[in-house]
């Protein structure tokens, strides 16, 4: 099967050889350049010709162009083609080579429509490479992590890097030169970007908050499910989550480096998040049919809280308190052991397992 980008002589002045476009000028040395721009110009020149049809070069739809991009990457893989760093450098070198002659690219392409096709192919491919780097959404390149304040602060710097890349005009040689130098000198890394952006490309505030919440609550549920008393544990975790997610004092030293407008925007995000997560945790959140029990038993000044998971001490607590506290005794007598365990969990501050409690109460009764 013929390759799309195998060598071919288009005319006495233009040929494509070893993934390099060569233009023989009449008034100077030949112009040579490679990379995606060379492949795009070559394909534009032979599209809709017998040779283009033989190679299967069709560029009318997005799907056809994506297939062309895939073929380019496959055929230039051994030359390290298809990487953003490689293609940026090749494009920079192409612009340098083309600058040696006025309107060289226009002369090579022959007319405006072929020029637009070639440049459009190049631009579309470079944008595709950028999308592979920055992903479609911020949370794909920078996954969610707790707490929201830390994720937001870190994401702001990454978003600046994302938006810088997305905004590059690939037909502007100066912008390509700047990016190429940053890549060569390792100065286009996320950590070196000192100006965070707290407005995220293609993502509304509601979408961001809901996305983080869905991830967070999934993590909380997974943590609770590790315990046999998952429903009780989940109820307990709500308070912890609310405290952790609404406190960002730990970021105070880092926030001092922000410009006033950035700091204001960050604080606005946190104010919105506090209200959002507060409403979520205060509402009746479904937990596999579990509903947070209403506390009906409370500590008094006579009995002390038993040590965690010491069911002998819990049995003693129950029996002794039943002797003098009629309300406590009535609740114990009229309710199931599961309900008693839930009340003791709320009372003691540690999860009381109804099975362990029931076994302890029954074993002592038999003796």
Q: How far is residue 8's CA from residue 77's CA, in Å, rounded to a whole number?
A: 20
Query: What is d(CA 288, CA 225) in angstroms, rounded to the nearest whole number?
Result: 11
Task: Note whether 324 and 285 are same-domain residues.
Answer: no
> Does 106 lie in the same domain as 232?
no
List of E strands, the chain: 8-9, 14-17, 20-23, 31-34
Task: Report the pLDDT value the prediction gives residue 183, as an integer from 0 to 100.
Answer: 86
10-residue mean pLDDT series, the chain (367 residues): 88 95 90 97 96 94 96 95 94 95 91 96 96 92 95 94 93 95 73 77 93 93 85 84 91 90 93 92 50 76 87 92 93 91 84 84 58
Residues 35 and 120 in one domain: yes
- For residue 249, the enclosing domain spans 148-167+194-292
| Cα–Cα dist 29/344, whole Å | 90
CB atoms within 10 A of CB 321: 17
| CA separation for the pair 167, 169 (Å, rounded) | 6
Tell me whether residue 276 is in a domain. Answer: yes
**pLDDT score for 189:** 63
Which of 172-181's residues contact partners 24+ apart within 8 Å by CB, and which partners?
Answer: 173/92, 173/95, 173/99, 176/88, 176/91, 176/92, 176/95, 177/92, 177/95, 179/88, 180/88, 180/89, 180/91, 180/92
Domain end position, chosen among 229, 259, 292: 292
Q: Is 5 helix (H, G, I), strand (E, B) or coil?
A: coil
The DSSP output letter for 302 is S
pLDDT at 188: 64
Let me know if residue 3 belongs to a domain. no
**Residue 205 sits in the same domain as residue 316:** no
> Domain total for the chain?
3
């Amino acid at each position: 099967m013929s390759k799309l980008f195998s060598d071919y002589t288009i005319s006495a002045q233009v040929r494509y050889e070893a993934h390099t476009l060569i233009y023989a000028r009449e008034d100077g040395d030949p112009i040579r350049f490679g990379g995606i721009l060379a492949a795009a110009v070559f394909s534009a020149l032979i599209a809709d010709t017998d040779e283009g049809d033989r190679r299967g070069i069709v560029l009318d739809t997005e799907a056809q162009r994506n297939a062309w991009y895939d073929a380019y990457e496959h055929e230039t893989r051994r030359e390290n083609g298809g990487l953003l760093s490689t293609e940026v450098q090749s494009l920079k070198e192409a612009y340098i080579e083309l600058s040696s002659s006025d309107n060289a690219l226009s002369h090579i392409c022959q007319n405006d429509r072929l020029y637009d096709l070639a440049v459009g192919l190049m631009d579309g491919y470079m944008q595709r490479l950028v999308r592979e780097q920055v992903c479609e959404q911020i949370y794909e390149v920078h996954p969610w992590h707790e707490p929201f304040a830390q994720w937001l602060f870190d994401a702001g710097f990454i978003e600046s890097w994302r938006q810088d890349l997305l905004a590059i005009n690939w037909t502007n040689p100066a912008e390509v030169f700047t990016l190429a130098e940053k890549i060569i000198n390792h100065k286009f890394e996320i950590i070196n970007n000192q100006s965070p952006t707290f407005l995220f490309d293609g993502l509304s505030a509601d979408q961001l908050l809901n996305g983080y919440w869905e991830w967070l609550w999934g993590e909380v549920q997974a943590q609770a499910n590790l315990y046999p008393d998952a429903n009780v544990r989940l109820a307990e975790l709500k308070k912890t989550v609310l405290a952790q997610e609404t406190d960002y004092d730990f970021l105070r030293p880092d926030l001092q480096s922000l410009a006033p407008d950035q700091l204001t925007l960050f604080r606005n995000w946190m104010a919105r998040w506090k209200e959002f997560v507060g409403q979520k945790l205060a509402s009746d959140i479904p937990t596999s049919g579990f509903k947070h029990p209403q506390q009906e038993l409370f500590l008094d000044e006579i009995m002390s809280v038993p040590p965690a998971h010491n069911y002998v001490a819990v049995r003693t607590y129950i029996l002794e308190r039943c002797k003098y506290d009629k309300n406590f005794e009535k609740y114990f007598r009229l309710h199931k052991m599961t309900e008693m365990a839930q009340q003791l969990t709320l009372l003691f501050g540690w999860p009381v397992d109804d099975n362990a409690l029931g076994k302890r109460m029954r074993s002592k009764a038999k003796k």
